[in-house]
Amino acid sequence: MKLVSTLALAAVMTIASTNPALADNHQDAEADTTMADDGVPGPDEDPYIWLEEARSERALAWVENENERTLAALENDPRFETLKAEALAIYDSEDRIPFVSFRPDGLYNFWQDKQNPKGLLRRTTLESYQTEEPEWETVLDVDALAAKEGREWVYKGSTCLPPALTKCMIALSDGGEDATILREFDTSTKSFVEDGFVLEEKSQGGVQWVDADTLMVGRDFGSNTLTDSEYPFTTRIWKRGTDIADAPEIYRGKPSDVWAGASLLRDNTGTIHARMAMRGTSFHEAQHFVQKDGEWVKLDIPLKASPYGIVDDHLLYTTDVDWEADGQTFPADSLVAVDLEAWKADPNGAAKTLVWAPGERQTKRGGAVTGNALFVQLLDNVIGKVLQFNHVDGEWVSEEVELPDNATVGIAASSAETDQIMFTVTDFLNPTTLYYADGGTAPRPIKNSPAYFDPAGMDAEQHEATSADGTKIPYFIVKPKGMAMDGETPVLMSGYGGFQIPRLPAYLGSTGKLWLENGGAYVLANLRGGGEFGPGWHQTAIRENKQRTWDDFIAVGQDLVDRGFTSPDHLGIQGGSQGGLLVGTAFTQRPDLFGAAIVQIPLFDMLRYHLIGRGASWIGEYGDPRIPEQRAWIEQYSPYQKIEVGVEYPTPFLWASTADDRTHPAHARKGAARLKELDQPYYYFEDMTGGHSGGVDNEQRAKLQALQYVYLMQQLMGDAF
C-alpha cells in the first residue's frame, strides 16, 4: 500500500521503520564510572550495565546460560511439541492470503513458507491472482541469496522509481536488525544491477529515486551526520557513477533532532512537485520545510501537523492538534487542503479548506491515493470504516465504502494508475477476507484466510473498566467455549497504550488454536496513550501523565476479577516493546493481581533508556531522566528500579532478540538479572536473530509461540514453576 503522508516519506528517508516501537545503539558502558551529574545511574548504582553491550563475550555467555535453563524447563514440557507443530502449521499454511501490492508489471507478494523460510519476492497478474491457485513468477529468492553469500538476510522491502517501479533499491538486513544495506535491483530482469547503486555499510535511513540516475539518500555518512538518537539528519543527492562520499549535501538538520531529512513530494503519477524536508524536534513534533528558489522555507503549520499527500490537484495536511488558520479552527485529527499550484507559488499563503473532521470517538488511521480518489481508514468507536474522498465542483465530497459492519477494516493495496484497491475485513473469531474494487463497482470478496481454530461456542464481548481517575477504559474479551463465571478461567490480557498506535480486533489465528481451544480467554485493552480514539486519547497519557496508561491496564485487570471472568492466579498479561514496558509496570505495581507476565522485547530500565538503543528518540513520549522534574515522573514506574526485596512477584517470562536494534536486549536482560539477584523465579530467553520486528523464519516464530503458551499453561493452569 502506498502511504499518503509525505511526513511518512520523510521519515522513510531518515529511519528504517516508522513503527514507534524503537532501536539499538551499542552503548559504551565503560564510559560511565559513577552516577552522572544528571542523576542517571552509573555502574556504582547499577551492577548490570555490562549487559547493555549487545554482543560482548560476557553478555552472550550470560544469554547462553539463561537460554539453556529456560529451554530445559519449557521445551521439556509434554505440550511443547504439539503447540509448536500447531503454530508452524498456521505459519506455513499454503492457503493463507498472499497479500500484494499493485505495480504496473503485476501484483507483487513477499512469501515465506517451509520451503522458503527467508522468503520469495514474486509477482502474478490480477487475473491469475483471483484464481484459487495463482501462477507466481519469482523475482528474488532471498534464501538463495543468503545461501550464496553466507548471510542471514532478512528482506526489508524496496523503494522503486515511479511510475514504472522497475528500478528499485532493495533493503536487506543481516539477522533482522532495522539497519540495512541497499542494492539496486531491476525487476524487469529479476537481477541486481551490475555496477549499480550499492550501499553495503549497514545504516538506519533510506533513499528515494529522483530519476533513473539519481538518488536522494539519508544515511549514516560518518562524523556529524547522526542525531543524538542515532538517526540520520542529513540528506545527499547521489548521481550514478559517482562515489557516495562525494555526493553533495542538500539538507542538514541538527544533532539534537530525533531525526531529520529531505524527501520528494510526488503525486500519484510520480511527478515531483517539490522538495520537502522535516526536522523531528521530538518523536511527536516536527518542523516542515519546502525548497523554493533554492531556499528552505519553513511551513507555517503546527508542530503536530504534517503534509499528507496530493489528491485532485490539492495538497492535504493532517493535524493532531487544533489548528487556527485563515480565520478558522481546524479540529485535531482533521484533513485540511490547499490548492497545489497556489501552494507552490506561496507555501504559507495558500487558502486552506476543511476536507474532513472527526466526529465523537472517531479517528483516521491512514489512507491511500488511487488514480482518481483518496481513501481514508477510520475508527468509529473502535469499529472500522473506509471513506472515499473526491474534489467535485470546488467542494470535497465523501462517501463510505460498502464493507461489512462491526469489523476491523483496512486498506491492503491500491493502484496509483487506476482506481483498483483492496480492503481487509476481520475480527477476533472470523478469518480475514480480502475485498477488491476497481472504481466502478462495490468491493467484492476475492480471497479468504482459512480458519485456524474452531470458534464454535466462543464469543466476543466489549466491556468498560474504570481507571484510577474515573475514565472509562474499553476492552474486549473473547470467551472460550463453555466458559463459566467462576473466576477459574485462565485469561491472557494484552495491550499497548503508546505512540498513538491503536490495538484493534483481528483474527486470533495462533492464539485461537493454542490458547482459546485449550480453554483460555483472551482480552484486548484499549488504553490511553494509544490511538483508538484519536490524538487526544494519546496525548492525555504521555510524559508526566504516562502513569495513566499503566493505571488503565491495571483497571482492566481488576475489572476482569471483579466481574468473575478470572482471578489473579489465572490472569496473565502480555505485551511487546512499549507493551513490554506496560507489562513490566503492571506486575511491579500490582504483583498481587497477576499470575503470569510475558515481557517481550521491552523497555524496562527507564532511568537509562535514553542511553540504550534509540531511547533518546522517545523522550517525547516518556520524558528525559536527565532532567530532575521529568526523572521524578519516570522513577515512579520504571520496572527495573521497582523490583524490590521482600515482594512476591508473579513469575515473569522476559524475552528479547540479540539483533534488536530498536529497544535493545539490555532491558529484558537487566530485568532478569535483577530478579535473579533477589532469588525471584523468572524465565529469560533471547533469540539470536529476528530483530525488533521479528524477522525470523516460521520455524523460529513457532518455537517462540510454543514457549510462551507452555509458560502460560504452567503458570495459569496449575503447573508449578
Q: Which of the residues 334, 577, 657, 693 is marked catalytic?
A: 577
- Cα dihedral across residues 93, 95, 99, 103: positive or negative: positive
SS3 83: helix
Pick the closest to residue 704 from 490, 507, 493, 510 (CA basis): 510
* Contact partners, residue 293, CB within 8 Å, separation at least 6: none
User: How many angstroms separate the CA atoms of 669 and 31, rounded?
Assistant: 20
Query: 207 forms bridges with which residues in the sheet?
Result: 217
Burial state string for 512-525 with b = 16 or more CB within 10 A and e = fewer than 16: bbbbbbeebbbbbb
Answer yes or no: 463 catalytic.
no
Q: Is residue 124 within 8 Å of 135, Cβ to Cβ?
A: yes
The residue type at 193: V
Answer yes or no: 692 catalytic.
yes
Pick the closest to residue 574 from 407, 712, 450, 695 (CA basis): 712
Question: What does each C-alpha distance from 403 to 2, 152, 204 come to in angstroms?
Answer: 21, 41, 38
Pick the closest to residue 702 from 451, 452, 481, 449 (CA basis): 452
Written as nine digits, the cell of 387 is: 471513506
| Number of other CB atoms surrounding residue 475 within 10 Å | 25
Q: Is residue 225 within 8 Å of 232, Cβ to Cβ?
A: yes
Radius of gyration of the chain from its Cα atoms, rounded to whole angstroms: 25
Q: Which of the residues 314, 538, 664, 692 is marked catalytic?
A: 692
* Contact partners, residue 673, CB within 8 Å, separation at least 6: 48, 51, 62
Helices (H) and strands (E) in the chain, counts: 15, 39
Cell numbers 483518496: residue:
374
Query: 453 forms bridges with which residues in the sheet?
Result: none
Pick the closest to residue 236 from 213, 207, 212 (CA basis): 207
Cell numbers 493452569: residue:
717
Query: 287 forms bridges with which residues in the sheet?
Result: 279
Active site residues: 577, 692
